[in-house]
Chain A
């Protein structure tokens, strides 16, 4: 994975596969402590204590198509490379929260990458799920809540309509200008 936005896309897919209906993604910076924190929270079916302990092990996966599961272990590695860490908490039936911390200024801290592409890919691919995205960073401050977009559209068009996806993508483009 070249950047953090790809890691986020990947870990969110775990939540989707766990039957989540709402996924919250939060990226924030703590400048005083030189920290970058990514939180990904889902309301999927969660994990028991035994699975939780092994979740970041690359040789553990719930899938049946292959025997390795690299997603969380790669994010953990990316965090560890900067002196940060990955914490996972989960409860069966309640959902899972993944928190990755990074030393923000560390030379090995991967760039944020294209969060707009990650968000539009997620919404496009999962129009029935809701996403809340909040980034409060020097380079990007964006807030998206698909529940309120859905409410506003009021069934007239799908949230995955290219016109809506275009608006969401533009939020990130404006930030870059």
Chain B
């Protein structure tokens, strides 16, 4: 039976010592993966895994990755929403892991939305 070992948790706790963990509080960017039945069937989980990998590599502590339900645009799944503080949220549609890697590099890290993959900029509904 595979279980988490207390030693492993202690080890990562130790390695975090001295760094202020911003992840629990304030954040600069929030990335939401839409995880309804439609999103999951279209591949939303592969996006989550790809973004998580990028997040891990970047070492950034001011980015929150989370999930939400269906946004009502099932034909555009899989989708993510990127919210950079003090800017309008951007919904990206018809994604795949390669596209989210580009979005992570250009929008989440560098702050430039990737217009080619965006549905619309702002929070207006289109249905």
A87 within 8 Å of B by Cβ? no
In the bound assembly, the distance between CA atoms of A161 and B9 in angstroms comes to 12
Partner of B13 from A142, A153, A174 at Cβ < 8 Å: A153
Contact B1 A142 (CB under 8 A): yes
Contact B4–A149 (Cβ < 8 Å): yes
Interface presence of B40 (CB below 8 A): yes
Interface size class of A (residues with CB under 8 A): 35 or more
A interface SS class? helix
Binds B, one of A20-28, A36-44, A92-100, A113-121: A113-121
User: Contact between A124 and B65 (Cβ–Cβ < 8 Å)?
Assistant: yes
A74: chain B residues within 8 A (beta carbon): 37, 41
Per DSSP, are chain B's interface residues mostly helix, strand or loop, or mixed?
helix
Tell me whether A13 and B69 are in contact in the complex, defined as CB-CB below 8 angstroms, given that A156-B16, A161-B21, A174-B2 are known contacts.
Answer: yes
Q: How far is the CA of A174 from the CA of B23 in the complex (A)?
A: 28
- On chain B, the residues within 8 Å of A167 by CB distance are 4, 8-9, 12
Taking Cβ atoms with an 8 Å cutoff, the residues of B that contact A are 1-4, 6, 8-10, 12-13, 15-16, 21, 23-24, 33, 35-38, 40-41, 45-46, 48-49, 52, 55-56, 65-72, 74
What are 14 A-B residue pairs whose CB atoms fall within 8 Å in the complex? A1-B41, A13-B40, A117-B49, A120-B52, A124-B52, A125-B35, A152-B6, A156-B13, A157-B13, A157-B16, A157-B24, A158-B21, A164-B9, A171-B3
